Amino acid sequence: MKNALEQLSAMTVIVADTGDASMVKLHKPQDCTTNPSLVLAALNSPDAQDLISAEIETARGKALDAAALCDTLTVAIGAKLAALVPGRVSTEVDACLSFDVDASVRRAHEIVAEYDCRGISHDRILIKLASTWEGIRAAEQLEKDGINCNLTLLFAIEQAKACADAGVFLISPFVGRITDWFKQAEGVEEYAPDIDPGVRSVREIYDYYKTNGIETIVMGASFRNIGQIKALAGCDRLTIAPKLLAELTADTGPVPRALQPSNISRNGPVRMDEEAFRWGLNSSAMATEKLAEGIRGFDADHQKLLRILDGRL
């Protein structure tokens, strides 16, 4: 009997939600990802210490400051991960640029150039941007430049529709954070997977994309338990933390396909202009709060990383 992860892998591309090379080696995902939180975690990984020391020494030799070291270290970790997976590595644009289209585009090109210097071509990279209106506009430009993007911190159908209109390569709707919000708002301790608000959000997006022939990849993210993951079996991709990957590996129960594009009726696409996008996002307290909280959280981890690296320098 195949374990749950093996069954899931037969119908969904598995992405490791970690910057820890040892975890990537263990679970052998197709793709992997980095962000400031994951880079912070990598600082404490024994497997990354040689790489970190080498990057710090190089930065000292070039008289780089902590911000420049942070940029090169993030790409160095991503390049190491790229050597371990057959697919792509997602690398995040600084959260503080989430409302600046031009700066986001420039930063993305810098990331791609740094990867190129390390022998990793742009077609192995996904640039991660927050799903703000400005982030989506930056992604639209980058896609035209031949740089594929991963739009993260996605909580509302309006964000997903705008990403589709922009021709974004991949979106990452956040399951667990949606569920967390509704648990608190509704005073619910736990949801069954099929009525879990986070699961239902991804299913709605998947439905919209597949019924309208939209090629943007749907990658469920931010899971709290393997029940949520199993409830999205058949989704294009799922990015899963090492702890849950281990639980899926130990689980020998059946994993039936949950998402079936052939069984969905067609409704027709809706063009999402800026006014409709902002009003739709504003109308959802959950999406508004979680998007802002997520941007603040990533920026806080980025600032913490800068302070640590400044101390190391």
Query: Is 128 an active-site residue?
Result: yes
| Angle, helix 157-165 to helix 274-283, in steps of 10 degrees | 160
Size of the chain in residues: 313
Cβ atoms of 118 and 75 within 8 Å: the answer is yes
Residue among 44, 45, 127, 138 nearest 78 (CA): 127
Cβ atoms of 240 and 259 within 8 Å: the answer is no
∠ Cα 174 248 152 (to 5°): 15
Question: Which one from 128, 210, 230, 290 is the annotated catalytic residue?
Answer: 128
Residue whose tokens read 């031009």: 102
Phi, psi of 263 (to 5 degrees): -95, 10
Cβ atoms of 22 and 47 within 8 Å: the answer is yes
Which residue pairs from 177-184 have beta carbons closer than 8 angstroms and sit at least 24 positions apart in sequence? 177/222, 177/290, 177/294, 178/286, 178/290, 179/224, 179/228, 180/224, 181/286, 181/289, 181/290, 182/286
> Which 8-state DSSP code applies to residue 157?
H
Residue among 11, 28, 7 nearest 206 (CA): 11
Residue whose tokens read 């962000």: 35
Q: How far lies 181's CA from each of 198, 243, 264, 290, in Å?
A: 9, 22, 28, 8
Burial per residue of 164-192, b for 16 or more beta-carbon CB atoms within 10 angstroms, e otherwise: bbbebbbbbbbbbbbbbbbbeeeeeeebe
Kind and range of the H or E run holding 111: helix 101-117
Q: So which residues are the catalytic ones? A: 128
